[in-house]
Chains A and B, each alone.
Chain A
């Protein structure tokens, strides 16, 4: 039981490039989330999903897109990367919305 896995662990992007951050969970959780963590700012919710085929915006969705075609996977797409998207990205999943299990994170730098 691996829990929540994220790839890649680190990535450097040039301004304007695109990439997909992968997130997979093997706990059969319905709820999945993407957060970004900036220094001293806590975690901000980007997008979340309450089940396959259903996604919704969180607090800071601009510049990102998501899809949820299966229960297990919840990829986050960055189009036209900008320096403001330099951050650590965490994926989480849960059976109940509030008891979330977090992945190890992806550290992204946009230069």
Chain B
């Protein structure tokens, strides 16, 4: 069975600072990994995904994530936070054994201070 752990339910950074949101997963087979963003009172929007190939994945709004198999991690980063990045971020995993159905982490709320 798959599982996803997001370390830190709340992360606060200053505008212009590095954003680092952590995600660790468990999967018995090669995983597909995703980050979704949820702005207040909206549905989830796909930020980026890893399926195969290059382990450093670039997404929308300047975010990127690196798949590290040895660490079973898929941390999300952005070099310089903007006020508009304040939102909730969800890491998700799927794999062939689960019919490619998504399993979500508990989410991390990112707050950006001026």
Contacts and interface: CB of A to CB of B under 8 A. Distances in A.
Given A40-B9, A42-B90, A42-B105, A96 B44 contact: no
B100 interface: yes
Nearest to A50: B99
Contact of B106 (A41, A45, A58, A103): A41
Interface in B72-114: 90, 94, 99-102, 104-107
Interface string A42-60: 1111001000000000100
Interface residues of B, number: 22
B43 A97 contact: no
Most chain A beta-carbon neighbours within 10 Å: one of B9, B32, B44, B46 = B44
A105 interface: yes
A100 B45 CA distance: 9
A104 B42 contact: yes
A105 B43 CA distance: 6
Given A41-B106, A42-B90, A42-B106, A98 B43 contact: no
B90 A43 contact: yes
A98 B42 CA distance: 20
Contact of A98 (B34, B41, B90): B34
B104 A42 contact: yes
The A contact surface, by secondary structure, is loop
Given A45-B101, A97-B94, A98-B49, 6 more contacts: A42-B4, A42-B107, A58-B101, A97-B99, A100-B44, A103-B43
Interface string A67-111: 000000000000000000000001010001111111111000000
A98 B44 CA distance: 13
20 contacts: A4-B43, A40-B106, A41-B106, A42-B104, A42-B107, A43-B90, A43-B104, A44-B104, A48-B101, A90-B44, A97-B94, A97-B100, A98-B49, A98-B100, A98-B102, A102-B36, A102-B43, A102-B45, A104-B43, A105-B43
A109 to B, nearest CB: 15
B95 to A, nearest CB: 9
Interface string B28-43: 0000101010000111
